[in-house]
Amino acid sequence: RSVRTPTEKLWEILIATKTSVNSVYIVLDGLDEFHSVNKLFPYIHRLNKAGIKVLVTSRHLPTIQSQLCNTSHQTSAITIEGYAADEDIRVYVEGRMRDDCVVDHDDIPLDIRNDILSGIIKAANGSFLLSRLAMDFICNLTSVASLRTCLADLPSTYEKAYEITFERVLGQPESIVNLAKRVLNWVVHAKRPLTMLELQHAIAIKLSSKSIDPESLESSKLILGSCLGMISLSKVDGRVSIIHSTARQFLVTNEQELSDMPQLNISRICLKYLAFDELSSGPCESVISLRQRLACMPFLDYCARAWGHHVRQFQEVLWDELITVLCSPPLCASAWQVLHYRWLEDEEASEEVFLLQCRNPHGLHVAAFWGFAGFITRSSWKFHETNFSPVDSHGWTPLHWAASLGNEESAKELLNEGVNINASDANSWTPLTFAVVKGHSNVVKLLLSLGADRNTQDTLKLSPEQWASICSHDDILQLLRETGEPPVTDKAKFWRQQEKQTWKVSMERLDTSMDPGELEVLDEIKSRQPSVGKRGRQQIREPDVESSTVHSVAGYQCRDRGNPEKRFIDGVGDQGADKVDGGALVSRQGGEGEHALWFVDTIDCLW
């Protein structure tokens, strides 16, 4: 587990270069188009304090200007107006009229050409983008007369230019308009820019189909042409994007013209894709087969990594589609595998990393990961779910995932179901450890308020408090040191609920899975149902993940090893009884001389 992100390391490397060279210059082009610009400002100030000179290009936005010129950050900034030279615009306009106009260049009178040239230079006011949008409009005019009359309506603002272009998009034949709307919906609302191939498959998905017909794919030329210049295809990485952030703002403002509920439609399409027949066989067994699947399903990489972001706000509306994926082990595991897959050029290393991937997800793991609190809530009464702490191949419970991702509502729902708040994974990390390392102070506060043990240690002998210090999470460090223990009554209530739930799940499952020899031991276990003393929660030691079911305890003890029943029951009666070899039996003396017998069932999954 890397404490520092690759991004943080990159900034440290950039700052370190100042020690080896006299002058360092860094250019940040188009800062206004960066979605997380507020997160970038602290790094810019760090660069400046280190003596690194930073050149930023951006539109005039108050937030950016105030940050870069903020004296409290000791940042010295010089503002230079940037614009396209008239001569550059003239060369661009003349080239477009000569090469792209529907009306032949030689048929356009010289006076009209000169008027178009001077009109665009004036309207653009140093903006290449406005020049381009104006020429996109002019080049599609079909007569000299229309060229002459258009001069009076040349756009001088982005808003006006987009209005003209969008009207042209909507004025095309119906089939082209429908295509353009679907394309613009995806390009505007996708969580990352899609490649052309991903986009082709995304718009080809039909809700009535279980796979994509290759003959239904639209050509890249038609996709780009239908949007009349509002999107562009990068020659560097092959991704499709909106021509400018201002164009995105315009389309978001006018998204009702594209679709009634564009993001709902995208969410429904993602869920449909994850339920395709190709995924019904379950996760792939090797890197090679997974890469083949991704090649055959180009949209799968994006869909598996982003579908939860799209669907989260529509859990109720898309309930039927959602449970189709989450309640199907093959579909759920297939999407989960791609979500955690990391592509590496070295095939041998790639195979090794592949084998270390998180496997065996339960629907609750996926719900906790994406923050589907509604699904967790319904699981209890809708599907009669009883085990809310299944573990995956890493020993992580749904609460681990909710804490790691900072999904507070999901964590609350899981805790309401009485899950073990101190469950530890193969490295002895508890949900609190994950929340601390990831910096989710809201989840840390929630866990502490419900009695999470802040003194646990992982396999490195590090406590949550030490991890908070290592990760420089000062607010969480203070929280761990200052937050007092919750009232005893609250703790006792919480742990009684958890103990009752764990006991019920374990006993119901074992009744139907044991042989006669094991059942004799089970009957004795049931007669000693645990209770919690007045002092509240018992001291519990987590079992090994590989041997953490009650079934393994009874099964081990019923082998030919002396008198198993006596050994087993004697172990329960001893005050200091610990984990039974091969199982998960833990006994600690509670209040009033009572004993708590705990069986932590963490590896069986419902599906």
Give residue 206's pLDDT: 93
pLDDT at 70: 66
Q: What mean pLDDT do residues 67-96 have?
A: 76
- Alpha-carbon gap, residue 207 to 209, rounded angstroms: 6
What is the chain's Cα-based Rg? 31
Is residue 203 scored above 50 in pLDDT? yes
Topology of the domain covering 358-486:
1.25.40
The residue-averaged pLDDT of 499-508 equals 49
Q: Is the pLDDT of residue 415 over 90?
A: yes
Inform me whether the pLDDT recorded for 390 exceeds 80.
yes
Residue 360 region, left (φ>0) first, then alpha (ψ -120 to 50), else beta? left
Residue of higher predicted confidence among 336 and 573: 336
Give residue-wise pLDDT tens across range 341-374: 988 888 888 888 899 899 999 999 999 999 999 9
The pLDDT confidence band at residue 591, using thresholds 50, 70 and 90, is: very low
pLDDT at residue 484, rounded to an integer: 53
Average pLDDT over residues 424-444: 95
The residues pairing with 232 across neighbouring beta strands, listed in sequence order, are 241
CA–CA gap between residue 59 and residue 65 (Å, rounded): 9
For the cut 80, the answer to whether the pLDDT of residue 276 exceeds it is yes
pLDDT-derived band at 535 (thresholds 50, 70, 90) equals: very low
Residue from 337, 415, 404, 405 nearest 376 by CA? 415
Q: Which two tokens stand for residue 239?
A: 């991704």
Residue type, 434: F
pLDDT in tens, 242-266: 998 889 999 999 988 888 888 999 9
Residue 62 has pLDDT above 50, yes or no: yes
DSSP state, residue 285: S
Note the pLDDT of residue 7. Answer: 72
Long-range contacts of 348-355 (CB under 8 A, 24+ apart): 350/287, 351/286, 351/287, 354/286, 354/287, 354/290
Question: What's the confidence (pLDDT) of residue 6?
Answer: 61
CATH classification code of 169-260: 1.10.10
pLDDT of 424 above 70: yes
Distance CA 405, CA 418 (A): 20
Looking at residue 8, its pLDDT comes to: 75
Using alpha carbons, list the distances in angstroms from residue 572 to 276, 534, 580.
Answer: 51, 20, 10
The whole-angstrom separation of Cα 131 and Cα 138 is 10
Residue 594 has pLDDT above 80, yes or no: no
Q: Which residue has the higher pLDDT, 51 or 410?
A: 410
∠ Cα 560 562 568 (to 5°): 95
Q: How confident is the model at residue 455 (pLDDT cuts 50, 70, 90)?
A: very high
Q: What's the maximum distance between 2 C-alpha atoms anywhere in the chain? A: 109
Asked if 122 and 149 count as a contact pair (C-beta separation under 8 A), the reply is no
* Tokens of residue 510, six digits: 């074992």
Domain chopping of the chain, boundaries: 6-73, 86-156, 169-260, 261-338, 358-486, 509-598
Give tens-digit pLDDT for 294-346.
999 999 999 999 999 999 999 999 999 999 999 999 999 999 999 999 888 88
pTM of the model: 0.70
Which residue, 162, 108, 173, 112, is CA-closest to 132? 162
Alpha-helical runs (H) found in 341-382: 347-355, 363-370, 373-382
